[in-house]
Amino acid sequence: MRTETVPLSGPSPGTTRTLTRHHWGEVGARPKVYLQGGLHADEMPGPLALFHLMQMLDTAEAEGRIAGHVVVVPLANPIGLSEWLLHKPVGRRDLEGAHNFNRGYPDLAVLVGDGLEGQLGPDAVANVATIRAAFAKALAGAKIETEVDELRIRLMEGTHDADIVLDLHCDHRAVMHFYASTARPEMTELLGRSTGSVLALIEDVSGGNAFDEAHTAPWRALRERFGDKVPAACFSTTLEYRGQGDVSDAVAVRDAEGLMAFLAGVGALTGGPVPAHGPAEEMPLAGAVEFIAPFGGIVSWVTQPGDRVSEGQVLGHVTDAALRRRVEILAPTTGLLFRQELWTTCLKGQGLCHVAGMEIRRQGDLLSD
Ligand SMILES: [Zn+2]
């Protein structure tokens, strides 16, 4: 195991931060699998699972079972971790510009596309190496204005050449689910069986250049431009490790074991373990629909994440006790109620829950900001 400390220059005089990456296996060994947690710095189930995963990787290394290159960044967002406001962690957005830490990553296909004209041949393996070298050059020359820009680029310098990138998040109150493109269905299936995710939300381009998409969309775009001599060389996904309150060692150890099964399944480890679950149910991200509060008030539920619901079914209530009025929270589609908001109050116009269904109901930017 080797630990790498990446400096971040800090936003103001006298301030610096660091990013810590841990490596198992040889640089250059394949597959290169990168795992990070805490990009939204108020989401701690992933970092705790990675803490336990790292102990398991130490054991696997002592047993000579590391076959690929595994990189773990357990706390990917030192900026967000330091941001507390009014005695609460903020974590999701930077306090300076209110930008979501998981949006706005560079579009590598745009940055390297023109430079690759005439550079790619019939050998897909050689093309992957050429494209990854172009990604590295683009990141080295990327314009950095803010501290958050710098974090984005430093993170991608560690990931642009990875075969697999797993970004561990969590939701407010939720069952375990993840987001995936259609590019590598066998990986999606393995990830579901390894982690025990209930649901996989499938979409090729969700919008907003989230961290996972910044690793998959460029290969898709370059394939569209240069043809099938460009493979889908990176599988990347955002995993939602249930809700913000689901932080415990017992659950985190099981989640780490699931990640070990995935690492073994993709060949980064030898000697197992094997996946312990069935596949995740796959539904289109465009079929996941939100209920919007028509007025502000008290939020209460008669259902919970994981419930199967029918369109129009009562899921809970928004109550304005001052005006003595109440509205039912109705299921916006038929399917799986997979997440609810954490808060017991809401403002008018806020989304309160999502139901995933098979029917396409949305288009455009598909992620909640
Ligand atoms: Zn998140």
Q: What does the pLDDT look like over 314-326, one tens digit per residue?
A: 999 999 999 999 9
The pLDDT of 134-152, averaged and rounded, is 96
Expressed in angstroms and rounded, the spacing between residue 91 Cα and the centre of ligand 1 is 9
Helix (H, G, I), strand (E, B) or coil at 338: strand
**Closest Cα partner for 341 from 311, 303, 309?**
303
Q: What is the pLDDT of residues 75-86, one digit of tens each?
A: 999 999 999 999
Q: Is the pLDDT of residue 312 over 90?
A: yes
The pLDDT of 184-192, averaged and rounded, is 96
Expressed in angstroms and rounded, the spacing between residue 201 Cα and the centre of ligand 1 is 15
pLDDT of residue 127: 97
Instruction: Using the structure block, give the residue that is written with the tokens 């109901």.
Output: 361
What residues flank ion ligand 1 with Cβ within 5 A? 40, 43, 169
Mean pLDDT, the chain, integer: 96
Q: What is the pTM of this model?
A: 0.96
Expressed in angstroms and rounded, the spacing between residue 264 Cα and the centre of ligand 1 is 26
pLDDT of residue 218: 96
Element (H, E) at 55: helix 45-62
46-to-53, 170, 233, 246 alpha-carbon distances in Å: 10, 7, 25, 10
The pLDDT of 184-213, averaged and rounded, is 93
Expressed in angstroms and rounded, the spacing between residue 117 Cα and the centre of ligand 1 is 36
Expressed in angstroms and rounded, the spacing between residue 121 Cα and the centre of ligand 1 is 39
Expressed in angstroms and rounded, the spacing between residue 119 Cα and the centre of ligand 1 is 37
Expressed in angstroms and rounded, the spacing between residue 210 Cα and the centre of ligand 1 is 10
Expressed in angstroms and rounded, the spacing between residue 79 Cα and the centre of ligand 1 is 15
The pLDDT of 251-264, averaged and rounded, is 98
Expressed in angstroms and rounded, the spacing between residue 43 Cα and the centre of ligand 1 is 6
